[in-house]
A and B are shown apart, each in its own frame.
Chain A
Amino acid sequence: MARIELNEIAHSYMAKPKGESDYALKRIHNVWDDGSAFALLGPSGCGKTTLLNIISGLITPSKGRVLYDGKDVTELPPEKRNIAQVFQFPVLYDTMSVFNNLAFPLRNRGIHETQVKKRVLEVAEALDLTPFLNMRAAGLAADAKQKISLGRGLVRSNVAAILFDEPLTVIDPQMKWDLRRKLKEIHEQLMQTFIYVTHDQVEALTFADQVGVMFEGEIVQIGSPQDLFEKPEHRFVGYFIGSPGMNFLECTLEGNVARVDGAGIVLDEQIAAKGHRARGKLELGIRPIYLEIHAESANGMVPADVRAVEDLGSYKIVTLTLAGKTLKANLPEDQPVPEGQVWLGFPPQWTKLFADGWLIK
């Protein structure tokens, strides 16, 4: 297990990169503590897989150093880094038994057979694979195969880190709950360094203590799931996390009131004061779950029109227009469904202000 340091990393796939736009990774400068569960979350093309490949040694970065427990491993290939990897699709030997598949990474390193057996049985038990140990991998369902892949990643107890690249993509939703739970239990038991790459916010947020959100080759925010949800530092984090994402409205400031065309929305005074000094485009941001919908007007509320209501079972998504802009609000299952004109409340503690995409705080 190791503490992983990424020191001023940048990477371009081009031989002679010119501008910043030629870099798949622009600047990554981070330390991941030993034993932590860390997730990298972002859309495809954001550079998260490039970064994972730099950590594993499949790619040598154009700039910067990778350190494991202070030791420079930047130039070392994956097999010399003592890491385990789990990929999106199951990687295993179809003709071998489940036991032999799990034992392979250990036998490959000349571990004594009694030790191999002990470890394989432990991992199989943790992943509910014990009943399958003598079966051939070929005949098993997709999720069982992916569990074997996970098991192969987990079976070596002395690795510096375990890297997961979208490991649950091919798994059914029900099974995802089970496997996520397994992974989390195993992490709590072993306290190994887990690095988990995914585009799925639910997976990243539920799995990791710390999540790094990546956007266009940079980590725009690292934080706990709660921080990312409640205090998104960049509009991309607001948009990408949460379903639907945060609502944004371009605005101007008058005192502590944000003007969106005719409508005025009261902001926190300190934030508004900082907003007056900020440069660039100002936008107001609010999460759909914090936007209040009322049938009657009250102080500080602004009128809006209901455009559509979608029933998602446990809640509804209401689409509204305010001064020509579209907003979404989440409505709990037991609340009456609004129609026509309604009044929107923007609780000041949940109404954020962004200047040129960055949170004013």
Chain B
Amino acid sequence: MGLSLQHIDKILGREIHLKDVNLEFESGSRTVILGRTLAGKTSLLRVMAGLDRPSRGKIIVNGKNVTGASVRKRSVAMVYQQFINYPSLSVYKNIASPLKIAGVKKTEIERQVHEAAEMLHIEDLLDRLPAELSGGQQQRVAIARALVKDAELLLLDEPLVNLDYKLREELRVELQDIFKKGKAIVVYTTTEPTEALMLGGNIVVIDEGRILQTGSTAIVYRHPATLKVAKVFSDPPINYLKGTIQGDTARIGQHIEFPIEDYMKCLFDGSYMFSVRSNHLFLSRNAKEDAEIPAKVELTEINGSETFIHANYDGSRMVVQEKGVRSVHIGVEITIYVNPHYFFVYDGAGALVASPSGGVFDAKLK
């Protein structure tokens, strides 16, 4: 199956929920939609499902225009953030319900329900009612029901957001395996960069109803085409500093100066934004070409294996993600070391103009 969204707008009154969305999905593909709260992720899923009609544009399934066709006429399963189950039905009946509606034979229903329950580790709970289950178990029931439906399009709207951190970590791994086995188009929304990376596949970065970038998840992570994408796709928040390039020298603020890297040589003299992720900043020198950033510590956070040092340079807030436990006190002056070959360079409009992995810049801009 192929699904194509062409020039989709969704506008309610003066509010733009989606603007000129163009996307293609193929059978068996896995796509993560990454965006902040209210970026348009749910609006996009609802339009894809046929729950909402777009204000403009077409939805093509297998070459056929289905824009406006009711959700009941489409092969779609959807899992919502807030788990939805039939409260008066047992877990077994909850999972079986789409099969029963489709008129599947009883023995076949039994086989499929057990198969899905086993996959999601809820086979011991089949006789219980949803209210007797924990949140994580209820969401597994909702996912199992969506899976047995065996729809061509499986949409999951931040399905793990209300679950425990550890359970989320485990379900993410399991879901990946389940998705790989199926032929459905799987579309999964999240606000979390780490979750997007764990799910792999392809990514669509969305903000304010507009698609900012699409491509393979790992490639987009390493080539955020705009500063906005870099911000949405970085946790801890990405650091960015205003600077200039003049000849072979880059300058950032009053104190930082370094010879430009080879991949920056294509740039004209002028003002740029130099952006670097927290894990590429260090409290000690690693190489002789490291640039030094004098900064003042504002806060440190220790998570057991890593320390996040929040510091200020020239009015810009920075976060250093160091391995191990470092006790750095608030107010102390420190030097942050960064190897210039980690800088993404953005122009005044926020477009990526030089990227550390050099010429292989194949991320697609839309």
A and B held together in a complex: yes
CA A142 to CA B308, docked complex, whole Å: 26
A181 touches which of B134, B222, B235, B299 (Cβ 8 Å) = B299
- Check B164 against A199 for contact (C-beta < 8 Å): yes
Q: A residues engaging B (CB < 8 A)?
A: 43-45, 141-143, 169, 172-174, 177, 180-181, 184-185, 188, 199-202, 205-207, 224-226, 228-230, 239-245, 287, 289, 310-315, 333
Q: B residues engaging A (CB < 8 A)?
A: 36-38, 134-136, 162, 164-167, 169, 191-194, 197-198, 200, 218, 221-222, 231-232, 235-237, 277, 279, 298-299, 301-305, 308, 310, 319, 321, 323, 325, 330
CB-CB nearest in chain B for A240:
B166
B166 touches which of A199, A313, A315 (Cβ 8 Å) = A199
Across chains A and B, the number of contacting residue pairs, with CB separation under 8 Å, is 101
| B236 surroundings in chain A (CB, below 8 A) | 177
Q: How far is the CB of B318 from chain A (nearest CB, A)?
A: 12
- Check B303 against A205 for contact (C-beta < 8 Å): yes
Secondary structure class of chain B's binding surface, majority of residues: mixed
A200 touches which of B165, B304, B305, B330 (Cβ 8 Å) = B165
| B279 surroundings in chain A (CB, below 8 A) | 314-315, 333
- Check A311 against B200 for contact (C-beta < 8 Å): yes
CA A230 to CA B325, docked complex, whole Å: 10
- Check A173 against B193 for contact (C-beta < 8 Å): yes
| Interface hub of A185, A206, A240, A315 (most chain B Cβ within 10 A) | A206
| Interface hub of A224, A228, A230, A310 (most chain B Cβ within 10 A) | A310
Query: Given A177-B237, A225-B303, are A312 and B194 also a contact pair (CB < 8 Å)?
Result: yes
A244 touches which of B169, B302, B303, B321 (Cβ 8 Å) = B169
CA A172 to CA B234, docked complex, whole Å: 12
CA A45 to CA B162, docked complex, whole Å: 14
B301 touches which of A199, A206, A224 (Cβ 8 Å) = A206
| A181 surroundings in chain B (CB, below 8 A) | 298-299, 301, 310
CA A333 to CA B277, docked complex, whole Å: 13
| A201 surroundings in chain B (CB, below 8 A) | 165-166, 303-304
- Check A44 against B164 for contact (C-beta < 8 Å): yes
CA A206 to CA B135, docked complex, whole Å: 25
Query: Given A141-B38, A314-B279, are A205 and B235 also a contact pair (CB < 8 Å)?
Result: no
Q: How far is the CB of A177 from chain B (nearest CB, A)?
A: 6
- Check B305 against A310 for contact (C-beta < 8 Å): no
Query: Given A43-B167, A311-B218, A313-B197, are A185 and B299 also a contact pair (CB < 8 Å)?
Result: yes
